[in-house]
Structure 1
């Protein structure tokens, strides 16, 4: 009896619980019926719903299927935000959030201007029909809609207009015409102008003709008599797809530069100016390609990738997605995420992005992708080829002073509750703060130091019950922050033999490096230390070979290398170094060592050197000049071929430096070696 009683209980529980799953399926069916989905997605949802109706609701597969259908229904397949292409508004927003970066702002405004022109450009329509009344009626109708309309009396006339380099967005053609029928015309147009969409309208509609027209390149096939509203809807659908494709085929911007120069925040400003939702995806340390593309549903705990997940959270299919720190993507046995980004960022492919969890294509062509990077040399070539790099250079001292006073101080005052006390910091105090307490290309460290000052002032307000704070001057900076953290290396040192102030350029901005050379008794060995790369080692060997072959002209004993070893060292051995731009500095260091003449410490130098002593141009001139200013240099020796690069720089970068341009190593010697 207990056996039958147990069975009866199970049956009752089962009967009580099944309606819950039935109601869940009914709710899903209602949502499916009320949700506008692409055809391929609707088919997938229908198939999944049929499968759910056949399986036991108590198995895990049922809940997985329900979650999958709910995701498909919740994605914004057609919902998008309309772009605000007001350039004045965009310029105002960027100016209110960022100081300087004029070249960057100009390029972004150019990008928005191009989108605006594409968005407002009149569409060109070609109407091909041998019936004059029908031809004129369509011409009048579409002209009244604001389109630019041309007409052709037959296929030959239409083909001639297209071949005369006239671009048409849409061609509406009849099937039966004299001289050339519509099918032949479609075939010829698809070869002469592949970007032109063709709509066939005919009174001889058959399945065979429709299939033939579609195979030859027609996008739509309508039978006469055609309703003008239906034709209008078809034309607008075609034009909308073309316009969306044209806009999406613009460049993918990549903001490249040192940390703290405003790359992420100006990306937010772009999204705000366009009126788009902003999504930031950190790519730093990403090693699993499934993080982007998702996991297949067969895996336990499978989820869609981060791009689809963020689009679902945003609720629109055209947000602004920032791929932050794209140069720090990793790679291991789980795949190569950078390869997945090739599909995501390619306008020719991202119209049907395949997330492995979704199993149906999602259109990413409306998404505005912006990438950021510190060092673009770490990006794979195919990925870099899809990006338009916009360089963010280091801030000058004058720019940092304005940013600190206009942006950073008010923000920190508000964050630390000092609005009523209104602390004042003098220009000299700001200058001391920038030079002696920060050493960076951006302003992150400066933001932290200003925040520290504001917190200490907040403590004074509470402890001393002060309502008015005295103005902070240079001496106050020291009392608030302690002794200075950084020194001007070039200005604070002494002139030494064999030690040259060289300018370097890294992903963190510009900097200086002292190249040291010593000679000792040995067997003609060149010793190179400091974690040097192959290019830098070859630069040192090139400089030594030039000096050996021209020793007499340089006033050096020709046998100086006979029983000697020469050791060249670049300090900070834990940091890898490479590149050709230190070749000229190494040459000067060796000449100073062999002649016994000290090198002027406040004169810095950069340039690549050839085996015959000529000087070649180098990159990163702006960052290197700013580094020279920060370190206290008064003169900079540059390659003559970099003169044009310097001419484009502002006075706040070059105005405080004496710039000397040289074509050979011999030209640089009198500017760097001190008089004996």
Structure 2
């Protein structure tokens, strides 16, 4: 491991009184068995008090073991870890026997300890390495004799140390006072070595030097080197200070020189820069108001000292004006065949959107620049290709493509920018993207327009009203520019997952185009034409192509994805390609044809199951059709009757609108009790429980009205409901069936669930045009306008002599 401890605070010394040896009380040379604590970032000396944070597992284990025992460890500095060494080989052979004064576990998993060094020890032999490294070590002692040479060396070291402390900006003055009060020659050397900013190997060398005189000599050499460095550093700093003073003097002289040059008519670099800026402004294709503002601001710069803070603000503002594409248009590719080829090459299906783009290109070819650019809004579930479709449109029409993500934007200044009175003001994101585009007519995608937020800084959706209004955006005003900028030539495309989250005034300015979820056949074609080739290229399988059979792709679509788009489908295909690429790289055999049986081995067991309809007719259970963000599906509605007081219970995490549909179904049933051969008094004695399974999933919408009413009437009459038919429609109190949305997705979901006979509102008949003919041919659809028609289609015969409590369960 790279790190096991780090210093918590500066080290302290706790020297014994004069004459006490560098040991634990005497010069006993007996060997000891000690726990080793690795220390990589410092060297612990005798009588040194060091607070440390332990991070390494080995160090923490040593601390815990020592704290539970004699609280004595052998602190040894770790060498630079080299590959192939054992744990003991990573450590120096000489360390310090230390007592563990404190050990605390910290909230982040580390351990804080305080070590107090006692005496030098040399490792003799390892004993064990688990749970912590334990070695046998012998103490090391130097000669205690105080000679004249040692006394002279001590004085020399103290004199050098005093100079170093006086010149250093990091060493405290107390360090010299502490050294002055140490009477032990070796202790003085240890203290100085621990405080000097020297390398770990040099500190370890001092620790391994046993003879006090030699130790003082080595420390004296290090002090001399440090003193030379400090004196050189001070000389350099003095020279730098002089250079700064001279630079200030030269600055004032230059300013005087500029005044003299201005009086003499001579030019200076600043004036040359401003002249070049004025030339750029003259060559740029600016609007009349923008040109006047640029000339005005450049005139201000000419009379403004460059050192003032406002100079850079004004200069940045002028650069923004000059760099914006005020009237630089792109060269459109007015070629219908090329555009159609690009759209077909990049996207499968999406006929309505492709036709709309080709219509725009055709009108542009005939009307030229008189045509107003469209503002389209692509609405659909995630993964159906809304963002990539914008890129294809830009490629088809030959315009630059810029994208602005609006997800989570809650500040109006993100759209309109900040006024220049604010520090660090910048234009809004609209103007910034226009500068990146370089033309006045790019394809501009406002992604996730339904994810906008609002707070005390304003509502960005309100700022977008001007951006997306053809009657206003030709004079769009950014707060930073404070100039009208023409956005009317931009081909705006917005994307959203749900229309309900878009403010109505903003939605009114856009042409909504719905991207429904893909059918299973469409997903199969998209995977074969686009996803499989792209993932094979991304996985480096161009020279080792894989073959995916239609059955294999269908298995992945049904068992491993549950979505309206194809994003997760591409992930699963990519996972298979990557696993195959690994086998190729390892030189192992790999399947060249991916069969269904191989899919489960590579991706694991299937994660999704297609809901299947009930296999028999039941009383009080009807099958409805739902539309979710992942596409269409079928949903069972269950009704249970119990003796009670006429209460209605709704479960299954139903939304307010769906609860109202249940109330409407009950009201219709009670109002038409005689026509349904029901006893009106029965409602006062029966509790009705309406449940929609999968209660963890929220459910909302009025389209379950006829499904709930059918299940309720079935439970009250005892007539079974056909399991092979699914329905969707909103119910009124008069029994009329109103149209619903998401017809295509609901029909496809029912077909996946094994149901091919459906009931839909009469007014939804026009929505079948969105369903491919091949799928329509497999369906039997009944269009109804009232609930009576529904009941005639789905309810079974009246049971002979039904008991009054046939479907009533006691609580």
TM-score (structure 1 length as normaliser): 0.76
Aligned partners of 2:709 and 2:686: how far apart in 1? 17
Which residue of structure 2 aligns with residue 633 of structure 1? 755
Contact 1:422 1:469 in 2 (8 A): no
User: Could you tell me how far 1:349 is from its partner in structure 2?
Assistant: 1.2
1:412 and 2:535 equivalent?
Answer: yes
Which residue of structure 2 aligns with residue 40 of structure 1? 289
Which residue of structure 2 aligns with residue 109 of structure 1? 358
1:399 and 2:505 equivalent?
Answer: no
Pick one of 371, 376, 393 that aligns with 1:247.
Answer: 371
Aligned partners of 2:796 and 2:571: how far apart in 1? 41
User: Could you tell me how far 1:302 is from its partner in structure 2?
Assistant: 0.9
Helix, strand or coil: the match of 1:562?
helix
1:29 and 2:278 equivalent?
Answer: yes
Contact 1:260 1:442 in 2 (8 A): yes
Helix, strand or coil: the match of 2:703?
coil
Pick one of 333, 337, 340 that aligns with 1:91.
Answer: 340
User: Could you tell me how far 1:15 is from its partner in structure 2?
Assistant: 3.7
Pick one of 264, 285, 294 that aligns with 2:417.
Answer: 294
Helix, strand or coil: the match of 2:688?
strand
Contact 1:294 1:305 in 2 (8 A): yes
Pick one of 714, 735, 746 that aligns with 1:613.
Answer: 735
1:14 and 2:252 equivalent?
Answer: yes
The superposition leaves residues 371-394 of structure 1 with CA deviations (integer Å, 9 ceiling, x where unpaired) of: 111112222222111111111112
User: Could you tell me how far 1:440 is from its partner in structure 2?
Assistant: 1.4
Which residue of structure 1 aligns with residue 593 of structure 2? 471
Which residue of structure 2 aligns with residue 239 of structure 1? none
The superposition leaves residues 104-153 of structure 1 with CA deviations (integer Å, 9 ceiling, x where unpaired) of: 2112211221221101xxxxxxxxxxxxxxxxxxxxxxxxxxxxxxxxxx
Which residue of structure 1 aligns with residue 564 of structure 2? 441
Pick one of 447, 467, 471 that aligns with 1:324.
Answer: 447
Contact 1:288 1:337 in 2 (8 A): yes
1:672 and 2:782 equivalent?
Answer: no
Aligned partners of 1:91 and 1:6: how far apart in 2? 68
The superposition leaves residues 53-77 of structure 1 with CA deviations (integer Å, 9 ceiling, x where unpaired) of: 3333222211111111111111122
Higher helix proportion (structure 1 or 2): 1
Which residue of structure 1 aligns with residue 641 of structure 2? 519
Cα distance change of structure 1 residues 32 and 613 upon mapping to structure 2, 3 Å threshold: closer
Contact 2:637 2:707 in 1 (8 A): yes
Helix, strand or coil: the match of 2:681?
coil
Aligned partners of 1:354 and 1:610: how far apart in 2? 49
Cα distance change of structure 1 residues 674 and 474 upon mapping to structure 2, 3 Å threshold: farther
The superposition leaves residues 175-202 of structure 1 with CA deviations (integer Å, 9 ceiling, x where unpaired) of: xxxxxxxxxxxxxxxxxxxxxxxxxxxx
User: Could you tell me how far 1:492 is from its partner in structure 2?
Assistant: 7.1
User: Could you tell me how far 1:276 is from its partner in structure 2?
Assistant: 0.3
Which residue of structure 2 aligns with residue 67 of structure 1? 316
Structure of larger gyration radius: 2
Aligned partners of 2:786 and 2:341: how far apart in 1? 47
Aligned partners of 1:12 and 1:22: how far apart in 2? 19
Cα distance change of structure 1 residues 90 and 385 upon mapping to structure 2, 3 Å threshold: same
Aligned partners of 1:367 and 1:321: how far apart in 2? 7
Which residue of structure 1 aligns with residue 710 of structure 2? 588
Contact 2:374 2:491 in 1 (8 A): no
Cα distance change of structure 1 residues 495 and 30 upon mapping to structure 2, 3 Å threshold: same
Cα distance change of structure 1 residues 496 and 614 upon mapping to structure 2, 3 Å threshold: same
User: Could you tell me how far 1:624 is from its partner in structure 2?
Assistant: 1.0
Aligned residues: 546
Cα distance change of structure 1 residues 605 and 287 upon mapping to structure 2, 3 Å threshold: same
Aligned partners of 1:631 and 1:611: how far apart in 2? 30
Contact 2:640 2:688 in 1 (8 A): yes
User: Could you tell me how far 1:619 is from its partner in structure 2?
Assistant: 2.0
Cα distance change of structure 1 residues 487 and 330 upon mapping to structure 2, 3 Å threshold: same
1:371 and 2:494 equivalent?
Answer: yes
The superposition leaves residues 223-256 of structure 1 with CA deviations (integer Å, 9 ceiling, x where unpaired) of: xxxxxxxxxxxxxxxxxxxxx4x323x4311111
Contact 2:643 2:685 in 1 (8 A): yes
User: Could you tell me how far 1:22 is from its partner in structure 2?
Assistant: 4.1
Cα distance change of structure 1 residues 398 and 303 upon mapping to structure 2, 3 Å threshold: same
1:458 and 2:696 equivalent?
Answer: no
Aligned ranges for residues 484-503 of structure 1 at < 5 Å? Answer: 484-491=606-613, 496-503=618-625
Aligned partners of 2:471 and 2:762: how far apart in 1? 43
Contact 1:436 1:484 in 2 (8 A): yes
The superposition leaves residues 384-430 of structure 1 with CA deviations (integer Å, 9 ceiling, x where unpaired) of: 11111111112111111111111111111111011122111111111
Aligned partners of 1:435 and 1:8: how far apart in 2? 78
User: Which segment drifts farther, 94-103 or 623-632?
Assistant: 623-632
User: Could you tell me how far 1:578 is from its partner in structure 2?
Assistant: 3.3
Aligned partners of 1:459 and 1:8: how far apart in 2? 66
Aligned ranges for residues 517-666 of structure 1 at < 5 Å? Answer: 517-573=639-695, 576-647=698-769, 649-666=771-788
Gaps of 5+ in 1: 120-243
Helix, strand or coil: the match of 2:578?
helix
The superposition leaves residues 308-343 of structure 1 with CA deviations (integer Å, 9 ceiling, x where unpaired) of: 111111211111101111111111111111111111
Which residue of structure 1 aligns with residue 408 of structure 2? 285
Helix, strand or coil: the match of 1:504?
strand
Aligned ranges for residues 209-358 of structure 1 at < 5 Å? Answer: 244=369, 246-248=370-372, 250-358=373-481
Aligned ranges for residues 377-396 of structure 1 at < 5 Å? Answer: 377-396=500-519
Which residue of structure 2 aligns with residue 236 of structure 1? none
Aligned partners of 2:691 and 2:583: how far apart in 1? 49
Aligned partners of 1:51 and 1:69: how far apart in 2? 11
1:57 and 2:306 equivalent?
Answer: yes
Contact 1:93 1:269 in 2 (8 A): yes
Pick one of 575, 588, 603 that aligns with 1:481.
Answer: 603
Contact 2:744 2:770 in 1 (8 A): no
Aligned partners of 1:535 and 1:347: how far apart in 2? 36
Aligned partners of 1:539 and 1:516: how far apart in 2? 14
Contact 1:599 1:673 in 2 (8 A): yes
Aligned partners of 2:666 and 2:340: how far apart in 1? 53
Which residue of structure 1 aligns with residue 47 of structure 2? none
User: Could you tell me how far 1:648 is from its partner in structure 2?
Assistant: 5.3
Cα distance change of structure 1 residues 58 and 418 upon mapping to structure 2, 3 Å threshold: same
TM-score (structure 2 length as normaliser): 0.64
Helix, strand or coil: the match of 1:114?
helix
Contact 2:383 2:564 in 1 (8 A): yes
User: Could you tell me how far 1:522 is from its partner in structure 2?
Assistant: 2.4
Cα distance change of structure 1 residues 585 and 34 upon mapping to structure 2, 3 Å threshold: same
Contact 1:490 1:501 in 2 (8 A): no
Contact 1:488 1:632 in 2 (8 A): no
Aligned partners of 1:444 and 1:482: how far apart in 2? 19
Gaps of 5+ in 2: 1-242, 259-267, 800-811
Helix, strand or coil: the match of 1:514?
strand
Contact 1:487 1:631 in 2 (8 A): no
User: Could you tell me how far 1:549 is from its partner in structure 2?
Assistant: 2.8
Cα distance change of structure 1 residues 12 and 70 upon mapping to structure 2, 3 Å threshold: same
1:422 and 2:671 equivalent?
Answer: no
